[in-house]
Amino acid sequence: MDVLKQVLGRLHPLIVHLPIGFIILGLLLLWYDRKRKEYTKVIPLVYLWGGISAALACITGYLQYLGEGYAFDTVKWHLWSGIATALFSFLMYAKLKGIQQIDFLNKVPTLVLSVLFFLLISFTGHQGGNITHGEDYLVEPLPNHIKSALGFETFEEKAIVLNEENWEDAPIYDDVIKPILNNNCVSCHGQKKTKGELQLHNPEVILKGGENGEIIVVNDPENSELYTRLVLPKDDEDHMPPKEKRQPTPEETELIKAWLSIGNPFEGTIGELGMEKELFLSFFPKKHDADHPDIQISAAAQDTIMNIKNKGFHVEHISKASHFLEVSCINKPSFVDSDFEILMPITEQIAILDLGGTQITDAIFEKLATLPNLTILKLDATAITGKNIELLTSLEHLKSINLTGSNLEEIYLQSFTEFKKLEIAYVFGTKVEGEGVRTLKDGQITIDYGNYELPPLPSDSIIY
């Protein structure tokens, strides 16, 4: 029976469009036929079909509410306005059919009823859209700072990033507990969906609890459902999140327990609350990768990254624990110097930049000098000669530069000695002589000419 209820309930998004179509068609025909009077027999029939399909939509919608775990407060306005829409469809049918038993309908002009009906169906559709897509559906593509300015609460998956220097200063709820809940729980217990009438997207609703009451017992994680459900076996029907959903890590679960044991504070830093450092060690960087600076930076806005991707660039995060980006023109060989302006919004985040095989010239060096955290630079198979390459000496983190197959001239090779942290330069296939200098700056910089040959092996001479 539960399966049938869920199957029929999930037909609601399909069926709900039928009454909308019939009702809008009826309203349009009323307007079109106001003088012609050619469709007086058809229009009542359209509203009758609208009423029948609206009733079916109400039934399937109610079944979906029961089966999908929506809170009644979330669906009540959509439910009652849907029922009103179905009744109004039958009233419009009776009015246009001239059924005499309903006298009051004859006193209300058809135009007034049509306007009221249009407002009703608009309200009903709006409430349904809020349930399926959330109240912020129309503003969701906007950047978070604009959504916040408009009064909408923002949610985004956020990694817990701590290190030796800042871990004690991190706010326990905003930087640790809230990301755990947002990443693992809010998809089912947030504003868009409220299973078990439980929401976990802000402190007020967390303390309120769900249909079974409060989920936190102060200073007692072992009796707090927010924790106990996390540690139930995955096959237990009460385990949360459901086994097919993303699961918090053991370290994240332990943090929830520790937070509950100190009174689940929503204010205060880790240091102020006296929490043990061992609880957070798994969120410290394991090791520093040489392909980006060992510093913390702010994240680039996701909509900015998507905009750059849409213009043909390949952009990805270097690692989950870092906001640094790798940008490549592998799919944009037409890239020219002026296209660099597209990358300006993420200059702070770019650590690896691949402009190989593009149409850049030596004029690009002036623009590359604006990338404060550039670590690996690829300029292979370009028209670069090296003129003005000394502009890159201002880059404090540049460790590798690939000029293979470019027009690099030997006269500019000595400019590398002024680079602060350069470790290797690849110059195979350039105008630099292959028998030239192998290292610079007392061996700190390797000049790699490529064209390697493997040493012969005794087995190479065996004739089979």
pLDDT, tens digit (0-9, with 9 covering 90-100), for 367-391: 999 999 999 999 999 999 999 999 9
* pLDDT band, very low/low/confident/very high, at 260 (cuts 50, 70, 90): very high
Residue 148 pLDDT exceeds 90: no
Q: Percent of the chain having pLDDT more than 90?
A: 41
> Region 265-279: what's the mean pLDDT?
92
| CA dist., res. 390 & res. 417, Å (int) | 10
What pLDDT does 70 receive? 67
Return the SS3 of 325.
Answer: strand
**DSSP bridge pairs for 446:** 424, 439
Say what the pLDDT of residue 108 is: 78
Angle between helices 17-32 and 110-133 (to 10 degrees): 150
In the block, tokens 């190479």 appear at: 460
Give the mean pLDDT of 340-344: 95
Say which residue, 66 or 432, is predicted with more confidence: 432
Q: Residues near 338 by Cβ (< 8 Å), separated by ≥ 6?
A: none
Q: At 304, is the pLDDT very low, low, confident or very high (cuts 50, 70, 90)?
A: very high
User: What is the Cα–Cα distance from 114 to 43, expressed in whole angstroms?
Assistant: 12
pLDDT at 226: 92
DSSP class of 224: -
User: How many Å apart are CA 293 and CA 150, to the nearest integer?
Assistant: 36
In the chain, the amino acid numbered 350 is: I
Return the C-alpha torsion angle 44, 45, 49, 52, nearest 10: 70
What is the per-residue pLDDT for 110?
81
Residue whose entry in the numeric block shows the structure tokens 């702070």: 348
Q: Check residue 320 and give its pLDDT.
A: 78
What rounded mean pLDDT belongs to the chain?
Answer: 85
Distance in angstroms (rounded) separating the CA atoms of residues 415 and 413: 5
Task: Name the least confident of 151-155, 186-190, 261-265, 384-388.
Answer: 151-155
pLDDT band at 238; cut points 50, 70, 90:
confident
Interhelix angle for 42-68 vs 2-9, to 10°?
Answer: 130
Instruction: Give Rg (Cα) of the chain.
Output: 33
Category of 319 on φ-ψ map: left (φ > 0), alpha (ψ -120 to 50) or beta? beta
Looking at domain 302-450, its CATH architecture is: Alpha-Beta Horseshoe (3.80)
- The predicted pLDDT at position 159 comes to 76
Of the two residues 140 and 366, the one the predictor is more confident about is: 366
For the stretch 14-37, pLDDT in tens is 888 888 889 899 889 888 888 888
Does residue 349 surpass a pLDDT of 70? yes
Which amino acid would we find at residue 51? G
In 3D space, the residue among 60, 45, 47 whose CA is nearest the CA of residue 15 turns out to be 60
CB 44 within 8 A of CB 105: no
Residue whose structure tokens are 């209300």: 108
- Check: CB of residue 425 under 8 Å from CB of residue 444: no
Q: What is the pLDDT of residues 71-111, one digit of tens each?
A: 677 788 888 988 988 898 888 888 888 776 666 667 778 88
Per-residue CA distances from 126 to 67, 88, 121, 408 (Å): 22, 17, 8, 62
Question: What is the residue whose two structure tokens read 């593509």?
Answer: 141
Position 36 scores a pLDDT of 80
In this prediction, residue 69 carries a pLDDT of 63
Region 396-410: mean pLDDT is 94
Write out pLDDT tens, residues 354-364.
Answer: 999 999 999 99
Check whether 7 has a pLDDT greater than 80.
no
Contact 347, 367 (CB under 8 A): no
Burial, 312: exposed, middle or buried (Cβ in 10 Å; 0-12, 13-18, 19+)?
A: middle
Taking a C-beta distance cutoff of 8 angstroms, is the pair 106, 67 a contact? no
Q: Are 87 and 102 in contact (CB under 8 A)?
A: no
Q: Name the amino acid, one letter, at 353.
A: L
Helix (H, G, I), strand (E, B) or coil at 46: helix
Assess whether pLDDT exceeds 90 at residue 350.
yes
Question: What tokens were used for 83?
Answer: 């029922």
Digit-coded pLDDT (tens) for 211-220: 888 999 999 9
pLDDT in tens, 189-228: 877 667 778 888 889 999 988 888 899 999 999 999 999 9
- Going by C-alpha positions, the residue among 423, 421, 430 that lies closest to residue 450 is 430
Query: Can you say how many angstroms the Cα of residue 191 is from the centroid of all Cα atoms in its chain?
Result: 16
CB-based contact 390:413 (threshold 8 Å):
no
Q: Mean pLDDT, to the nearest integer, of 429-443? A: 82
Question: β-pairing, 376-378 with 424-426?
Answer: unpaired
C-alpha dist (Å) from residue 141 to 144, 145, 342, 346, 349: 9, 12, 20, 19, 22
How is residue 217 written in tokens?
């017992």
Residue with tokens 């550039």: 374
Which backbone phi and psi does 392 adopt, to 5 degrees? -80, -5
